[in-house]
Amino acid sequence: MSLLIRGARLYGEGEPVDVLVADGVIAEIGSVRAPEDAEVVEARGQVLLPGFVDLHTHLREPGREDAETIETGSAAAALGGYTAVFAMANTDPVADNAVVVEHVWRRGRETGLVDVHPVGAVTVGLKGEKLAELGTMAKSAAGVRMFSDDGHCVADPLLMRRALEYSTALDVVIAQHAEEPRLTVGAQAHEGETASRLGYAGWPASAEESIVARDCLLAEHARARLHVCHVSTKGTADVLRWAKNRQSTGVISAEVTPHHLLLTDERLSTYDPVNKVNPPLRTASDAAHLRAALAEGVIDCVATDHAPHAVQDKDCEWAAARPGMLGLQTALSVVTETMVRTGLLDWRGVARVMSERPAEIAGLADHGRPIVAGEPANLTLVDPDAEWTVRGAELASLATNTPYEGMRLPGVVTLTLLRGQITAREGKIV
């Protein structure tokens, strides 16, 4: 079985070419005559990119299968152009041992729509008290490469230091949810004008920035690999720029979410908890600086922080609502809107921030690869000119908590291939 993608522009550059895929790899690129048995996809000049890699996804299985499952989350990922996702450890039970990470990994394989890589917890039960068995998870069948207590900060500096030191021997990454808990007690929104006006307790930028600065120094001294989750402030970008300039590159990496690139705390005046997220939506100035930092490479990549929540956890008063928003199916469009339409990134830049860098950070050998013959056919075809209107109820996720409801966004994923197999086509799972 082979597949011919006819007339695609690789990275949106140059003249359209044909890409023949056979046996899971890219067999030939150029002017290709379709083999007899080949399925043909007419790309009509659309943009062909390496399949996207999401370093930060919440799939909610095990424990909250009413909000999302590995199957529904995988479908959302494939429809969003992803070929690999990293499933965060804040499930119930927590993914802090080999049994749970192997379960998630196996369920991902059975579903087969996207490579699901479990993230292991840094501390037992995400409690921030004692280190989880990182080595056992790393050596399990799931081969865990990234550890995070996401949802919680590893706030104790001694514990964080130990985790970083331990991680070097395992050659894994520690991904930190940077939030100094003493500075965010009761916090509901970005500390600033909007929070004051609405009467919400503030989540100050310094709660993020102080942890990032601390962790960069801890990582540097431990010669460890630190990944900073969901960077949300200008100050954090400045700290990262400083830290990256001090030392050999590649030790510290960082991600920004699509929502922190596009949305601001001005949206909070509706009191709709769909806009509640951790870290909170910040100011327009923060968003502008985050876009610039992503274009510059100070922030390495885009990660969705896809956070599905059941209706009863979102459709309630602000303070009681869980933080988090859907992201997998809207990420490419938000990046197109904020980074491509603004001229900050070209499509090669999109390939870098959504596929190549995240694959490198996590050490994935078969994703984020160049589009050349012989490479695994993990590919995403994007119609850069098409637009669509987001409807939460039409997304593949079980939950519907998208902040983009009713928004018209550019950039449509028309085809996703995982090792040469079509996983999504024209908005449908295959």
Ligand X SMILES: NC(=O)N[C@@H](CC(=O)O)C(=O)O
Query: What residue ranges bind Zn ion (CB under 5 A)?
Result: 150, 177, 305
Closest CB 141 distance from ligand X, rounded Å: 25
The yes-or-no answer on residue 66 being catalytic is: no
Residue ranges in 27-86 that form contacts with ligand X under rule CB under 6 A? 58
Q: Give the count of residues interacting with ligand X (CB under 6 A).
A: 12
Q: In the complex, which residue's CB is closest to Zn ion?
A: 177
- In whole angstroms, what is the distance from residue 260 CA to residue 279 CA? 9
Q: Does 307 bind ligand X (CB under 6 A)?
A: yes
Long-range pairs for 343-346 at CB < 8 Å and ≥24 separation?
344/291, 344/292, 344/294, 344/295, 345/294, 345/295, 346/11, 346/12
Tell me which residue has tokens 């230091």. 161
Quick one: residue 174, left, alpha or beta (phi over 0 = left, psi -120 to 50 = alpha)?
Answer: beta
The partner in contact with residue 314, picked from ligand X, Zn ion, none with C-beta cut-offs of 5 to 8 angstroms by kind, is none
Residue among 259, 279, 286, 280 at smallest CA distance from 268: 280
The rounded radius of gyration (Å) of the Cα atoms in the chain is 20
Closest CB 229 distance from ligand X, rounded Å: 7
Residue ranges in 254-283 that form contacts with ligand X under rule CB under 6 A? 277-278
Q: Does 177 bind ligand X (CB under 6 A)?
A: yes
Residues 6+ apart with CB under 8 A from 272: none
Which one-letter amino acid corresponds to residue 269? S
Question: Which is nearer to Zn ion, 260 or 419 (by Cβ)?
Answer: 260
Residue among 195, 192, 220, 194 at smallest CA distance from 206: 192
The answer to whether the annotation marks 221 as part of a ligand binding site is no
Region binding ligand X by CB under 6 A among candidate stretches 132-140, 262-270, 291-299, 317-325: 317-325
Which one-letter amino acid corresponds to residue 322? R
Q: Which of 115, 300, 305, 313 is catalytic?
A: 305
Region binding ligand X by CB under 6 A among candidate stretches 124-132, 318-326, 339-347, 362-370: 318-326
Closest CB 86 distance from ligand X, rounded Å: 12
Contact 85, 107 (CB under 8 A): no
Question: Which is nearer to Zn ion, 115 or 150 (by Cβ)?
Answer: 150
Buried/exposed 24-38: b ≥16 CB within 10 Å, e otherwise: bbbbbbeebeeeeeb
The partner in contact with residue 323, picked from ligand X, Zn ion, none with C-beta cut-offs of 5 to 8 angstroms by kind, is ligand X
The answer to whether the annotation marks 305 as part of a ligand binding site is yes
Q: Does 90 bind ligand X (CB under 6 A)?
A: yes
Binding-site annotation, residues for Zn(2+): 56, 58, 150, 177, 230, 305
Binding site residues, ligand X, CB under 6 A: 58, 90, 150-151, 177, 277-278, 305, 307, 322-324
Show which residues are catalytic.
305
